[in-house]
Structure 1
Amino acid sequence: MMKFQDTTVGGLSGIDRDPRTGTWYFISDDRWRYDPARFYTGRLDIDPGSGAFTDARITGVTTLQRPGGGPYPAYGKPESADPETIRFDAWSGRLLWGHEGDRPDATHQDIPVSDLFVRWSDRDGRYRGGLRIPANLSLTDADRGPRRNFGFEGLTFTPHGIAAMVEGPRYEDGEPPTVEHGSVTRLTLWSRDGRPQAQYAYPVDPLPAAPIPAGGAADSGVSEILSAGDGRFLALERSWIEGVDYKVRLYEFDVRGATNVLSRDRLADGARYRPAAKRLVADLGRYSTPTQNLEALAWGPRLRTGECTLVIGSDDNFDSRETTQFLAFAARGC
C-alpha cells in the first residue's frame, strides 16, 4: 500500500477541485482501521489545450476534526466517521463532506448507531458546523430508516444550495436491487444555510448480472452525484456482484417534475409518486478492464475547446487486488 506522511493512502471515495488554485481534494473512507478520518490534497495534471491527462500525485494530508476538536473515534466506536464524499466550496473556501453513518444489522450486531451527517470543515480540518438531517434519514437499531452501508455516498453543490444522496433504499422504501427488480433511494436538497427543502426518489437499476454462484453476495447503489445545472445531476450507479466483479454506469437525472417526498416516510408497497427521470450517459466498463470500484465524480478544468473535463475516480478498498484509478472525459452541457 502507498504511504504518505505516515498515513496509508487508499479508499479515495470522493474528489473535488478548487478552480482557483487547481488543488484537488481526495477523501479517504478509512474509518481509522489504518489512520484517523482524513482527506488528502494533490494534483491531477490535465492539459487544457490537448486534454491530455498526464499525472496524479498527493501533496498533503489533513485529519478531520470532530466538534470540540480532536480526531473522530475509530471504527466500531460511538460517533466514529466513515467519510465517503467531499466538495470544495468556492464561496467560502471551506470543505463540505459526508459521513455514511453506521448501525448494527444481522451480521454486525455489536456496531453502535453513528448517525450519518454532512459537515463543514476548514481546510485545516477544523469542524465548522453541519446540515440539518431530515428525520427520515435517522439511523436506528431496528428495521427502519437507512440500511447499514446505505448512508450518504453522494454530495454536490447546486446553483442555489446543496444536494446529497443516500446509496440505497431505506427499509420503508423497499428492498435493495436484485436481477429481478430495482429500488429507489433519496436525494435531499438543502438551502445554503443547511435547511432541508425537498427530497426526491431516484430509481436505481436492477442488478446488471446475477451473482455466481446463484444466491451469492451483491451490493448496488449510487456511489456519487454531481450537479449539472438547475435540477439536473449526474449519478454513478456502482454494483459489486460476486463472481462478476464491478459494474458501473453513469446516468444523468432530472428532478424537475418529480414528486417531493420529504414528508413521506414510505415509498414501498404501492406508494404513488413520480421519481426523477434519468437517462444512460455511459457504461464505464467500456473504458477500463477490469472495471474498478468507481465512487468519485468531479468537474475538472475547462478545455480550450469550451468543453469541461469530468473526472471519475475509484476507491481501492485498501485491497491489493484493486487499484486507485482516475478517468478523465471531455463533456459538453456542463
Structure 2
Amino acid sequence: MARSRKILHLAIAFTAVMAAAPPAAAERREPVRITRFLGEQRIPYMERLDGTVVGGLSGIDRDPRTGTWYFVSDDRHRYNPARFYTGELDIDRVTGAFTGVRMTGAVTLTRRDGTPYPGYGNPEAADPESIRLDRWSGRLLWGDEGDRPDPAHPDIPLSRAAVRGMDLNGRHTGEMRTPPNLRLTDTERGPRRNFGFEGLAVTARSITAVTEGPRYEDGPVPTAERGAVTRLTVWNRDGEVRGQYAYPLDRLPAAPNPPTGQTDSGVSEILAIDDYRYLALERAWIQGVGYRVRLYEIDLRGATNVLDRDSLIRGGYRPVAKRLVKDLGEFRPPVQNLESLAWGPRLRSGECTLVIGSDDNFDQREMTLMMAFAATGCR
C-alpha cells in the first residue's frame, strides 16, 4: 500500500508540474486557412422575440451534440435585462451553403440570488460580451466586461468584470477567480473602462479569456503610429489561474478624421483551435474611417507567463505569436462591428465551418450579420 501511495503522489506531482509549465513543445499542426465563403444572413433590425428586442449580439457558440446555437446580447437593460438567445443556423453539410438563421428563444441571465442583473449605471450591472458552451461540463460560460468610472463617466459605479458560469436556463452556477491585476478600480489602475473581459474560449483542459485592450499599467491604447498590449488569462478546469500571456495589439490601420477624432480598438473575441492555439478578432473603430477587422491565429507556446508582472511597458517578455488569417476589411466592405466567432458543423469535404457575427449596437446604421466560411487546419 505504501508503494502504491508513493506512486500516486508522484503522479499527482507530475500532473501539477505539467499543468503549471508554460506551453512550449506541443506538436505543431497545420495553420488555419479560410478556403471559401459560404454565405451571409442578417437578423432584422429590432426584431422581437419572447417580449425582447433582438440586437447587440456580441458572442455566439454552438452545441455540437444538438446543433443549438447560443447568442449573447450586450444590451445593458436599455431594452431588456441581460440575456442570451437560442437559435438555428442552416448550413448544408454537403455543399456548405449558409441559407438561414432563426432565433428560437430568449433566456434572462440571473445573479446568485436568482434576480436579473440591474441596468446600466447601477452597481452589479452586467455587460455580457462573450458566450461559450462548456461541453465538458454541460454549462454555459459568459464573459462580463463589468463597468467602472472614468473622466468621461465619473458617476458610473464599479461593477466587477468576471467570467461566469450558468445553466441552460440562465441561472448562476459560479465564476472563475479574477486575477487581482484584472480587477476594475476607480483609479488609473487595472483595465480601462470598456476594456474588460471581451473574448472567451473553452477546451477540455482550460478556460481562456482576453481583455479587450491594455491595462493602465501596461501602457496607452493603440494609435496609428504604435500598437499596444493586452492580456490573455488561462484557468484550469477548477477555476484556478494557470497563467497570463501578453497579446500584442496592432497599431490602428488608419488615423481618425479629424486627427483628434475618437478611436476604439482591441480584441473582440477569441476561439480555441486546440489547447495552445486560438483565433482572435482584432477590431478597430476609427472616427471618419469606420470599422476595420482582422482575423489572426495566435499561439501561446513559447510565450512568457506575465501573471506576476505588474507592468508590461518595459518589455522583457515574449508575447504570443500571431499570424494573419484574413483581413476581413478586404473581404466584404463596409466592415461591420464584428464581435463573434464560433465553429459550426464540419462539412462532408472535411472542412470546418467558421461563423463570424456582428453586433449592431442597436443602431439602424449598422446590422446584425452572420457570415460563414469554410476552413482547414481547424481541429
TM-score (norm 1): 0.99
Task: Give the 3-state SS of the residue equivalent to 1:246 in structure 2.
Answer: strand
Tell me, yes or no, if structure 1 residue 332 matches structure 2 residue 376.
Answer: yes
Aligned to 1:221: 266
Partner in structure 2 of residue 116 of structure 1:
161
For 1:19, the equivalent position in structure 2 comes to: 64
Secondary structure, aligned partner of 2:329:
helix
* 1:176 and 2:256 matched: no
Kindly state the Cα deviation for residue 2 of structure 1 after the two structures are TM-superposed: 1.3
Once the two structures are TM-superposed, the CA of residue 271 in structure 1 deviates from its matched residue by 3.1
Q: CA–CA distance in 2 between the matches of 1:275 and 1:213? A: 33
Residue of structure 2 equivalent to 1:315: 359
Separation in structure 2 between the aligned mates of residue 253 and residue 124 of structure 1, nearest angstrom:
33
Count of aligned residue pairs for this structure pair = 333
Which structure has more RCO (C-alpha within 8 Å, separation ≥ 6)?
Answer: 2
Q: Does 1:286 align with 2:330?
A: yes
1:94 aligned onto 2:149: no
**Cα distance in 2, alignment partners of residues 173 and 115 from structure 1:** 20
Q: Which residue in the other structure is 2:315 paired with?
A: 271
Aligned-pair CA distance for 1:230: 2.6
Q: Is 1:65–2:110 an aligned residue pair?
A: yes
Q: Which amino acid aligns with 2:177?
A: R
Q: Tell me the TM-score normalized by structure 2.
A: 0.87
Q: For residue 148 of structure 2, what is the amino acid of its counterpart? A: R
Deviation for aligned residue 1:66: 0.5
- The one-letter amino acid paired with 1:57 is R
Residue correspondence of structure 1 range 231-242 to structure 2 within 5 A: 231-242=276-287
Whether the 8 Å contact between 1:87 and 1:156 is mirrored in structure 2 is yes
In 1, Cα distance between the equivalents of 2:263 and 2:55? 22
Give a deviation string over 1:225-254, Cα, whole Å, max 9, x none: 011113111100000000000000000011
| Amino acid in structure 2 at the alignment position of 1:93 | G
Aligned-partner Cα distance in 2 for 1:43–1:243:
36
1:250-269 → structure 2 map (5 Å cutoff):
250-268=295-313
Distance 1:99 1:37 in 2: 10
Q: Name the SS of the counterpart of 1:309 in structure 2.
A: strand
SS of the residue corresponding to residue 325 of structure 1 reads strand
Which of the two has greater helix per residue?
2
**Counterpart-to-counterpart distance in 1, 2:198 and 2:338:** 12
CA drift at 1:18: 0.5
1:204 aligns with 2:263: no
Q: Residue 347 of structure 2 is aligned with which of 278, 282, 303?
A: 303
Q: Deviations over 1:26-85 (max 9, x none)?
A: 000011111000000000110010000000110000000101111001110000000000
Please point out which of 232, 235, 253 is paired with 1:190.
235
- For 1:288 and 1:59, locate their aligned partners in 2 and report how far apart those are by CA, in whole Å: 28
Partners of 2:231 and 2:245 within 8 A in 1? yes
- Work out which of the residue numbers 116, 137, 140 in structure 1 matches 2:185: 140
CA displacement 1:294-333 (0-9 Å, x = unmatched): 0000000000011110100000000000000011111111
Identical aligned residues as a percent: 68
By how many angstroms is 1:176 displaced?
0.4
Is this contact kept in 2: 1:159–1:229, CA < 8 A?
no
Name the SS for the 1:310 alignment partner: strand
Letter in 2 for 1:114: S
Match of 1:163 among 202, 208, 214: 208
Mapped partners of 2:204, 2:233: distance in 1:
15
- Partner amino acid, structure 2, of 1:21: T
